[in-house]
Structure 1
Amino acid sequence: MTRTLSISLEKMELFLFIYESLSSSAHYLATSVSIVIIIVILVYYFSRPRCTYLIDFSCYQPPDYLRVPIPNFIEHLEISGVFGRESLDLQRKVLERSGIGDEACVPVSVHEIPPDSSFSAATAETQEILFTVVKDLLSKHRIDPASIDIIVSNCSLFCPTPSITSMIINRFGLRRDIKSFSLSGMGCSAGLLSINLVRDLLKVHCNSLALVLSMEAVSPNGYKGKSKPMLIANTIFRMGGAAILLSNRKQDKHSAKYKLKHLVRTHLGSDNESYESVMQQNDEEGRVGVSLSKQLVMVASRALKINVMELGPRVLPYPEQLKYMGSLIPRRWGRARTYMPNFKKAFQHFCIHAGGRAIIEGVEKHLKLGKEDGEASRMTLYRYGNTSSSSLWYELQYLEAKARVKRGDTIWQIGFGSGFKANSAVWQCISELNPKDRNAWSDRIHLYPVRGDAQVP
Structure 2
Amino acid sequence: MDLFMVLCFLPLLFAFSCICKMVLQWRDQGCYMLAYECFRAPEDRKLDTESCAKIVLRNKNLGLEEYRFLLKTIVSSGLGEETYGPPNVVAGREECPTMADADFETNEIIFDTLDKLFASTGVSPSEVDILVVNVSLFSPSPSLAARIINRYKMRENIKAFNLAGMGCSASLIAIDIVQRLFKTYKEAFAIVVSTESMGPHWYRGKEKSMLLSNCLFRAGGCSMLFTNNRALKHRAILRLKYLFRTHLGSSDEAYECCTQVEDERGYLGFRLTKSLTKAAAQAFTINLRVLVPKVLPLKELLRYLIVAIQQTKTSSQELEAVGLHLNFKAGVDHFCIHPGGRAVIDGVGKGLRLNEYDLEPARMALHRFGNTSAGGLWYVLGYMEAKKRLKKGDRILMISFGAGFKCNNCLWEVMRDLDGGNVWKDCIESYPPKTGILNPFVEKYSWINDEHLSFVRVLDL
TM-score (norm 1): 0.89
Counterparts in 2 of 1:364 and 1:452: CA distance versus 1, 3 Å: farther
2:235 is paired with a residue of what secondary structure?
Answer: coil
Tell me which residue corresponds to 1:62: 41
Determine the C-alpha separation between the residues in 2 that align with 1:267 and 1:390. Answer: 20
Q: 2:385–2:421: 8 Å Cα contact kept in structure 1?
A: no
AA paired with 1:351? C
Determine the C-alpha separation between the residues in 1 that align with 2:333 and 2:8. Answer: 48
> Which sits farther off after the overlay, 84-93 or 215-224?
84-93
Tell me which residue corresponds to 1:104: 83
Determine the C-alpha separation between the residues in 2 that align with 1:267 and 1:328. Answer: 28
Q: State the Cα distance separating 1:452 from its structure 2 match.
A: 4.3
Identity of aligned residues (%): 38
> Which sits farther off after the overlay, 74-83 or 272-281?
74-83
What pairs with 1:81-100 in structure 2 (closer than 5 Å)? 81-100=60-79
Tell me which residue corresponds to 2:298: 318
Q: 2:61–2:206: 8 Å Cα contact kept in structure 1?
A: no
Q: State the Cα distance separating 1:28 from its structure 2 match.
A: 7.7
- Of 272, 284, 289, which residue of structure 2 is paired with 1:309? 289
AA paired with 1:139? A
Q: State the Cα distance separating 1:346 from its structure 2 match.
A: 0.7
Tell me which residue corresponds to 2:423: 440
Tell me which residue corresponds to 1:11: none
Tell me which residue corresponds to 1:163: 143
Determine the C-alpha separation between the residues in 1 that align with 2:24 and 2:312. Answer: 45
Structure 1 residues 302-332: Cα deviation after superposition (integer angstroms, max 9, x where no partner): 2111111110000101122123334555668
Determine the C-alpha separation between the residues in 1 that align with 2:131 and 2:347. Answer: 34
Q: State the Cα distance separating 1:105 from its structure 2 match.
A: 0.4
Q: State the Cα distance separating 1:119 from its structure 2 match.
A: 1.5
AA paired with 1:348? D
Q: State the Cα distance separating 1:225 from its structure 2 match.
A: 1.4
Q: 1:401–1:441: 8 Å Cα contact kept in structure 2?
A: yes
Determine the C-alpha separation between the residues in 1 that align with 2:313 and 2:57. Answer: 56
Q: 2:59–2:204: 8 Å Cα contact kept in structure 1?
A: no
Aligned residues: 431
Tell me which residue corresponds to 1:450: 433
CA radius of gyration, larger in: 1
* Root mean square deviation of aligned Cα: 2.4
- Of 250, 253, 256, which residue of structure 1 is paired with 2:230? 250
Unaligned stretches of 5+ in structure 2? 439-461
2:261 is paired with a residue of what secondary structure?
Answer: strand
Q: 2:25–2:183: 8 Å Cα contact kept in structure 1?
A: no
Q: Does the alignment pair 1:276 with 2:259?
A: no
TM-score (norm 2): 0.88
Q: State the Cα distance separating 1:92 from its structure 2 match.
A: 2.3
Tell me which residue corresponds to 1:241: 221
Q: 1:354–1:378: 8 Å Cα contact kept in structure 2?
A: yes
2:110 is paired with a residue of what secondary structure?
Answer: helix
Q: Does the alignment pair 1:352 with 2:331?
A: no
Q: State the Cα distance separating 1:81 from its structure 2 match.
A: 3.1
AA paired with 1:290? F
- Of 157, 167, 182, which residue of structure 2 is paired with 1:187? 167
Q: 2:401–2:407: 8 Å Cα contact kept in structure 1?
A: yes
> Which sits farther off after the overlay, 315-324 or 91-100?
315-324
AA paired with 2:424? W
2:411 is paired with a residue of what secondary structure?
Answer: strand
Q: 2:134–2:170: 8 Å Cα contact kept in structure 1?
A: yes
Tell me which residue corresponds to 1:15: none
